[in-house]
Structures are given as structure tokens and as C-alpha cells.
Amino acid sequence: MDAETAALLAQSLERAFRDPDVKEVEAALDEVGWREALDAEGAAVVPLLFARQGAANAASGALDDLLVSSLGLPAGPGTAFVLPEFGTFAPPGSVRSGGLAVRGLGGARTAAADRAVVLAEQPDGALSAVVVDAEKLDARPVGGVDPRLGLAAIEVRDVPAPGGAPITRAAWDAALAAGRLALAHELIGASRTMLRLAREHAVTRVQFGKPIGAFQAVRHRLAECLVAVEGAEAAATAAIGADGEVSPLLAGIAKAVAGRCARTVARHCQQVLAGVGFTEEHDFHRYFRRVLTLDGLLGDARTLTRSLGEDLLRERRLPAAPPL
């Protein structure tokens, strides 16, 4: 994708995320041709969409499309993907005696979907992607920290399991990598907006006759936020190789770094904004809620750091350093 095409797509995506309604966002993404762009360009379009979704505090079924297509299945507006439970990344389904048991999370699309793709583990340990009618899944809306994201807890037992499509462990690792890269960029987009909101407050809020941004303590906090965001951006950029493929290891690192970055930015920006950041009228609290939730999808920063460290110790091999 050339720079001009990427810029035009980015502008279209920004307009698509202006509406707070999920259905309207989904319709706008269809009009933009998000799935066609994903099929044609692969991972190159992931940063364009998810960074803007994070910056707008929007919700859509784009992550469903990405994970479904990464497994080689047809994605569409009526197809949802069942995510692993919060904070984990194990397959959410299991098949025993011909029945499917599911315990996972549905995204913003789940409520309106006709069908859902469940990655399930067979008795012999093999994986398969099972397509289930959405009405057979017991989906309960999740309130908690960020109800605007539209997550749903899915837990069901003994659903008749039709023969699913076989999925290799390598294919699941590749899908996880794509999803983690997307969430990393969404966290980065949200972090940049939190930093912007705090900076705007720092240059307009006056204390002792000068903007609070003139005080060293405030400037240090904002500087640390910028360093954290740029570091996460560099990690996410390094996860896509020159051939356009996403490295599972580097995508995991990018997701962990972006999760830690978002918490750092949220903490410092809350201190800069002080009491106004807690108010319903200010947008900051929505982004704070969103990053806490996004961090837990497909493995939170702490879990991923531990898992990646264990993998590195077991394999005795470090990833190649990205070019400077």
C-alpha cells in the first residue's frame, strides 16, 4: 500500500469511528471496505484501523474479522469470534463426547451476530474452528469497568458440535499474533488521546498565575507518557516483518509493552488532570476504562511477560534486535 492510499484509508477510518453506535460504525467500515483491504493488504492495514479505533474510544467487530480471517475462514458482518477468557489466551472451547463446551468472551458484534466461530480443543489435543449459531450461546453483557465496549461473557455446555475446520497450533499462534498486534495499536491510540487530553489541560489550567504545564513536575509526567507511547509504537512496528508477516514473539512483546504503556500514561495523565479527570463530563475516564479492559484481551501485560519469559528460557534464544 502506497503512502497516498494509506492516508486516504486513514481519513475514511477516522470518519467511520465518529459515531458512538456500534451498528453505525460497522456499516461505515463496510462502506470503507475494511475486510477487502484486510484481504488485499494483510497486516499493513491493522495499525491504520486499530490505532484510530483506540483514539476514538470506539467499538466494532474489526477484531472478530481479523481473527476469523487469520484462521482462514470467511469473515463477515454476521460472524463473531469467541475470545479466550479475560487475561488468558487458551482456546475458549473444548469438545467432549461430541458436545461443545465454551467459556470465553464475545465482543461488540456478538449481540447482533448470526453465527460465532469458537476455537475448540479436541480430546486428542488437536484444535478445530467450530461455527455455532449465535442463538445457542448464552451471552451475558459484561458491565464492570467498561460497559461501552460491549463485551459479553459466554458460557455454555453440551452444544451439539458440528465437524469443525482443523486448525494447527501454528495457525492459532499466527491468529493470536495478529490479534495482539491489533490490540497493541488500539492501546497506543487510546494512550495518545489520554496524553493529548492531559496536555490540553496542562496548557489551559492556570495556577499561581501560570499554566500548570510550566511546572517541572507536570512536564516530567507528560514527558514520561510520551516516552512510553513512542516505545510501544516502536515495539508494535517491529512486530511486522519486511515480508508483511507478523512475528508471534514480537507481537506478544508489543501487546505486553502497549499494556504497560497504557497504564503508565493513564496514571500520569490522571495526576495531571486531577479531579476533572474523574468527572462524567470529561472524556479521560472513558479512555482509562478502555485501556484497563483492552489490556486483558488475549493475555494481559503481566501474563504475557511471564509466558514470553518462560518461552525464551526454554528455547535459549533471543529475538533479533530491530534495526535502529
Mean pLDDT by 10 residues, the chain (324 residues): 86 92 94 93 94 97 97 94 95 87 94 94 91 90 91 90 87 97 98 97 93 94 97 95 91 96 97 91 95 96 94 84 58
Q: Is CATH 1.20.140.10 what the domain over 170-315 is classified as, yes or no?
A: yes
- Identify the three-state secondary structure at position 173: helix
What is the CATH architecture assignment of 78-167? Beta Barrel (2.40)
- pLDDT of 6: 86
Dihedral angle sign, alpha carbons of residues 171, 121, 97, 158: negative
- pLDDT of 324: 52
- Collect contacts of 8-16 with beta carbons under 8 A, ≥24 apart: 9/37, 9/45, 9/48, 10/48, 10/52, 13/48, 13/49, 13/52, 13/53, 14/52, 14/56
CA 110/CA 106 separation, integer angstroms: 5
- pLDDT of 4: 87
Name the one residue in this structure whose C-alpha cell is 491468529.
175
Length of the chain, in residues: 324
Dihedral angle sign, alpha carbons of residues 51, 144, 226, 204: positive
Residue extents of the structural domains in the chain: 1-75, 78-167, 170-315
- pLDDT of 144: 84
